[in-house]
Structure 1
Amino acid sequence: MSSLEHPVEMLRRLSRIVVQYGNDVETYGGRANLLMADVTEAITARDTAHHTTVMAETELSTWMRSDEYSQWIAGANTDATSATLLARNERYRDSATTAQDSLAQAEETLTEAWMAWETQFSFWDDAYARAVASLAGVDARFDGSSDSGTVSNPADPNLTRLADADTPEEVAAAWDSLSDAERERLAATYPEFVGNLEGIPYEYRIAANVAVLEEASETSWGDPTDTEIEKLLIELNRKGGLPVSLNLFDKNQGTAALLYVDGVTFDPDKLSDPLAGVTNVSVLVAGMMSQLNGIGDWGGSAADMNDYIAEAGGTGATIVWFGYDSPNFATEPSTAQAVVGAETLTGFLRGLDQAAPPNAVTTVIGHSYGSTTAFLAVGSAADNLGVDNLIAVGSAGLTDHALGTDPDARVDYSGTNVFATTSPDDALARIGRLSPHPIDPGSIDGAVSFDSDGGYTPNLDGSEPTWEQHDGTPLLNTPGHGTHSEGTIPLPWDQPGGYLQDGSESFANIIGVITDGEPVTTPGGFGSQNALQG
């Protein structure tokens, strides 16, 4: 009996196909819906131009049929001077010509808008073909021969094989079996699929996502999408932020994951594994109200992390993960978005574990609701997803219910080192725990709590800083719930010291965990608020 004959396995395969098709519908359907607004606007502009042209041509025709025009053309005497009639004639003709040109331009714009919409709709149609082709492989009794593709894009067996793979390892094996030419064809034909499939090597995913991003930049989608595309291109071209996943048109919000590695930039003519030789892999998981248009500060933190790892003798690869629909103040008390986000993050971390060097140390840092999501993903997995260190900063609280349908299943962080911090000035994190995710990550058995309220790094001789000697680096207090200089409440001035900002005690301790396995400051140490209050 083959594994697919087992009903549970068949249902699992069906579920994966449906989820993939749903993602494709969100991507291409979302684009098509946005472009339909352009079509509607172009139709209105065309109709307006047509009306203007009809009026201008009617005025010209009326003028040319008038007695005054006939007399003037015949050289007869007229009440108006010849110069006046010449000017009138030119005005009518110029108006008609201008209107006709505007109409032609409006019709061309409408044609282009329809073509752009039809392109996205055809991608949607192709996604349906891929889903049907995948269904045909689930059970031999399913006859998909009559509906296994489209006229323009028949079912693609190599694509189907990739879509049917169960794990990143199986995807990698299927990809490795393809020729270079076939890989290039699949990436060019299905860039959204290749760019987001765990198990396909990162260099191919990055190239596919860059192609999608650059193509999307050629069309105006309106905000926030246009601004998000602009910010992602800045990260790519100026800071080396490589898109290892990308979905600009998710129905809720655009999502992406950007990879930063020192000295690695995107070169379409020379694809290479960006994780080769990496010793430390870090993933920053964004929290409540995180949007792609704010990804720049996080990219700066990623670069800073890599710099400190290099100073410690390692090679860092840091990923900024804005890969889920983050909650707002109204929806934050629920765990619903954490569950969906954790399911997505689970797949991403499994793919990362397969792609990263086997001896690399992996650290996941979740801020606010991002910690709710990250801890749920790692704690629900039997194999901890390859995560060595799990850090919560300004956590909105955790749930102990594991992912899945078993109401009695509980999270388990065995095999993962857990760290946590919450600034004394971060009231928002504590308010977030007055909810169905009430658990302080610092209360987990074996968790190590570190300070984020200011202080000093160890003295130059390695001793603890004291009033008498504190020649280490001064560290900032985190002044609220923010990750960088935003604080808790937006103010017209910077509020430095955010959890992920270089120079804060929180960030210094995160670096200590990544490079040495432990925080660098002692709780309540010299210079901290606790010490000063004591």
Structure 2
Amino acid sequence: MTGAFVAPADAVPAVSVSYHSVVADAPSGSGTAAVAPGSLLGSIAGLSASAVPGFISAHRADLDRMLVTPPRAGDVSAVWRLLDPVKQAALVNEAPHVIGNLEGVPYAVRGTANALDLKRTIASTTERLTTENGKAVRLELERRLSTLDNVKKALTVKDGVKRTLVNLDTSDDARASIVVGDLSTARYVSVLVPGMYMSVGEQIVDWAKVAQNLHDQETAFLHRLLGPRSSGGTPGVAVVAWIGYQTPVLTNIGGTQLAMDGADSLERTLVGIQELRTENPPYLSVFAHSYGSTAALLALERKTVTVDALALMGSPGSDAQSVAELSVRDGNVFVGQAELDPIVHSAFFGSDPGSPSYGAQRMDVGGAVDPVTGQTLSGSSGHNEYFSAGTECMRNLAMIGIDQGGLVISSTGSSGAVVTAAER
């Protein structure tokens, strides 16, 4: 659910800009509220630049609550464009945590805000450690600092490919999302959704490595497949290493509440991408593993956002009983199921996406020779090897991510397209 937090009328200065031309009120009963005149973000447009810091300070709690029930991404985007650069910069400086996590704010701006928030939080946590004597508090501060340091490490650029921190929540159940590539311009965008035991503190560095690996494979395949036929350069690729929800552990894996929370967060992420890319929409795919696949399925069952492709690995399913119940364009759903994975075919949460009746396309993950490159691809075994480098699974995901589903190696050991000598 989304909404807007409106400051009391007597606390909001008159706004000279007419917002009704760009932001419409939500339909009655829609469950959402538009960012209208008098909202916190909208009211800033009517302030002088010097008054912005004081206004933000006076309404800091209300701004923070915007992340609990956020405005719609399209409305945020419309209002953000009305703010002049000085006021935008003031918001980033005074409320980086809010701006860095608000869908509808440009990704470069969010990256700047989150980098600032990360730097400040590391500094303040380090300072507290120099004066704190309580053992329990020190342990918590050390754990938090370790998490923040790992986020910083995960932002290290590899091979000149930019990385942007587009989400950062440093609370007890930390959340973070790192984009490898340029999310604002990439023709192909893939979002990686993790399953259980994936915490920011322990796994964000490795998750960013997976995103980098997928980015590099997708880019390499585009170069190979397009070759001299490409005009204007090879289309860009962006991969989101997304840990946008609290993933479960053994003690709470049996319920779907965390999956529903993940679905809410993922839905906002996907809608945010599409709202910011209305003029140059990307080919948008979601690659989800384990419990994360249940979160992704729940998000796409709602029919509030549509993606171009969905791949599920080691999935315990959801209420949806077939591809037809998912908002995936042209039924473009793929399923990978490794040998010795105890989760596949379990239908633990209501369905088996790998069953013939579900209607998904089976992609092989057991190892093969790549018909495009001739490379020997290793197989995935058990529940946790789908994203390992050099696997057939990662190769197939790369093909799905660049809209080459016909080149996915199926469970029969062949791809659905003929590969020419030029493509080799």
TM-based fold match above 0.5? yes
Picking from 352, 371, 374, the partner of 2:273 is: 352
**Counterpart in the other structure of 1:237:** 156
Give the distance between the partners of 2:276 and 2:216, measured in 1 at CA. 22
8 Å contact kept, 2:378–2:391? yes
Give the distance between the partners of 2:164 and 2:344, measured in 1 at CA. 31
Picking from 311, 328, 331, the partner of 2:249 is: 328
8 Å contact kept, 1:305–1:316? no
Q: Which amino acid in structure 2 is aligned with residue 499 of structure 1? A: Y
**Counterpart in the other structure of 2:318:** 398
8 Å contact kept, 1:398–1:441? no
What are the residue-to-residue correspondences of 1:107-506 with 2, within 5 Å? 153-155=57-59, 166-218=71-123, 219-220=125-126, 222-239=141-158, 240-249=162-171, 251=172, 253-261=173-181, 274-292=182-200, 293-311=202-220, 312-313=222-223, 314-356=235-277, 358-384=280-306, 387-400=307-320, 412-413=327-328, 415-431=330-346, 433-434=347-348, 436-440=349-353, 443=356, 445-458=358-371, 472-482=374-384, 498-506=385-393
Per-residue deviation, residues 70-120 of structure 1 (Å, max 9, x unmatched): xxxxxxxxxxxxxxxxxxxxxxxxxxxxxxxxxxxxxxxxxxxxxxxxxxx
* TM-aligned CA deviation for residue 519 of structure 1: 4.5
Give the distance between the partners of 2:253 and 2:356, measured in 1 at CA. 21
Q: Which amino acid in structure 2 is aligned with residue 154 of structure 1? A: A
Q: Which amino acid in structure 2 is aligned with residue 368 of structure 1? A: S
Bigger share in helix:
1
Per-residue deviation, residues 124-153 of structure 1 (Å, max 9, x unmatched): xxxxxxxx976xx9xxxxxxxxxxx99993
C-alpha change, 1:4 and 1:354, in structure 2 (3 Å) is closer
Give the distance between the partners of 2:355 and 2:149, measured in 1 at CA. 38
Tell me, which stretches of 5 or more residues in structure 2 are unaligned?
1-19, 44-52, 127-139, 224-234, 415-424
8 Å contact kept, 2:362–2:410? no
* TM-aligned CA deviation for residue 348 of structure 1: 1.1
* TM-aligned CA deviation for residue 328 of structure 1: 1.3
Paired positions, count: 345
C-alpha change, 1:4 and 1:361, in structure 2 (3 Å) is closer
Per-residue deviation, residues 191-245 of structure 1 (Å, max 9, x unmatched): 1110111111011111111111111112145343222111110111344432101
* TM-aligned CA deviation for residue 375 of structure 1: 1.6
Per-residue deviation, residues 296-336 of structure 1 (Å, max 9, x unmatched): 22211211222222221332100011000111123222111
Picking from 2, 5, 8, the partner of 2:29 is: 8
Give the distance between the partners of 1:152 and 1:301, measured in 2 at CA. 38
SS at structure 2 position matched to 1:391: strand
Q: Which amino acid in structure 1 is aligned with residue 375 of structure 2? A: T
C-alpha change, 1:371 and 1:443, in structure 2 (3 Å) is farther
Q: Which amino acid in structure 2 is aligned with residue 305 of structure 1? A: L
Q: CA RMSD in A?
A: 3.5
Give the distance between the partners of 2:150 and 2:343, measured in 1 at CA. 28
* TM-aligned CA deviation for residue 12 of structure 1: 3.9
The answer to whether 1:524 aligns with 2:415 is no
* TM-aligned CA deviation for residue 502 of structure 1: 2.3
**Counterpart in the other structure of 2:417:** none
Give the distance between the partners of 1:208 and 1:521, measured in 2 at CA. 41
**Counterpart in the other structure of 2:7:** none
Per-residue deviation, residues 46-83 of structure 1 (Å, max 9, x unmatched): xxxxxxxxxxxxxxxxxxxxxxxxxxxxxxxxxxxxxx
What are the residue-to-residue correspondences of 1:66-81 with 2, within 5 Å? none
Per-residue deviation, residues 20-59 of structure 1 (Å, max 9, x unmatched): xxxxxxxxxxxxxxxxxxxxxxxxxxxxxxxxxxxxxxxx
* TM-aligned CA deviation for residue 154 of structure 1: 3.3
Moved over 6 A (4+): 2-7, 149-152, 162-165
Larger Rg belongs to = 1
8 Å contact kept, 1:133–1:155? no
Identity of aligned residues (%): 25
Picking from 512, 522, 532, the partner of 2:399 is: 512
Give the distance between the partners of 1:5 and 1:500, measured in 2 at CA. 41
8 Å contact kept, 1:379–1:413? no
Name which of structure 1's ranges 292-301 and 200-209 shifts more when overlaid on structure 2: 292-301
C-alpha change, 1:440 and 1:180, in structure 2 (3 Å) is same
Q: Which amino acid in structure 2 is aligned with residue 418 of structure 1? A: V
* TM-aligned CA deviation for residue 459 of structure 1: 6.7
C-alpha change, 1:184 and 1:368, in structure 2 (3 Å) is same
**Counterpart in the other structure of 2:136:** none
C-alpha change, 1:425 and 1:223, in structure 2 (3 Å) is farther
What are the residue-to-residue correspondences of 1:20-39 with 2, within 5 Å? none
C-alpha change, 1:441 and 1:179, in structure 2 (3 Å) is farther
Give the distance between the partners of 1:289 and 1:201, measured in 2 at CA. 30
TM-score, reference length from structure 2: 0.72
TM-score, reference length from structure 1: 0.58
